[in-house]
Amino acid sequence: MNILIKILQYLKYRKTKFFKVGYGCNFKALTSNFIKANKISLGNNVWIGKGADFDGAGGIEIGNGVIIAPEVVIYSRTHNFNSQDLQALPFDHIMLTAKVTIKDYVWIGRRAMIMPGVTIGKGAVIGGGAIVAKDVPDYAVVVGNPAKIVKYRDKENFEKLYQEKEPFVYNKVQHKKEYKQK
């Protein structure tokens, strides 16, 4: 069965060319969709969950060590629906593009949606289901619709780990899980 999945992944992604793919990336789920992949850049150790839906028309740049849970949507374009030269309703044929930037060691929860033009700062955490329409500062934890900051990560501890030679979770502790009560 595993060989069949590998063959299907090869067939699906053989013509998909990203602008850049760093080492240690995992993104080739059969249920994911990458539009305008040639404008999507992945840093090192980027993990993208199944069912991802990325529209790279305006550009998407993802930093190192980013983990994106299943079914996350990233848009880098939208329809022109409210300009002085609007030619049709509810929108016209003009597409408005804006680059999405996700900095190093960001964690994006399941079914979050990132809108065009957003920059997500280093070490930020995006809660599952969040709709991110504005920039997120470094170390911020955001949740909700629209996404709002609920707290910040410990900057000192984050920076200490960030300076290590290999801080990425799957390289450091592999996929071992240890459960602790909150």
Which among 17, 20, 50, 79 is annotated as catalytic?
A: 79
Amino acid type, 10: Y
DSSP 42: E
- Confirm if 169 and 67 have CB atoms less than 8 A apart: yes
- How many beta carbons lie within 10 A of that of residue 116, not counting itself? 21
- In 14-163, which residue ranges form alpha helices assigned H by DSSP? 155-162
79 is catalytic: yes
Q: How far apart are CA 19 and CA 119, in angstroms?
A: 19
- Confirm if 72 and 52 have CB atoms less than 8 A apart: yes
Residues involved in catalysis: 79
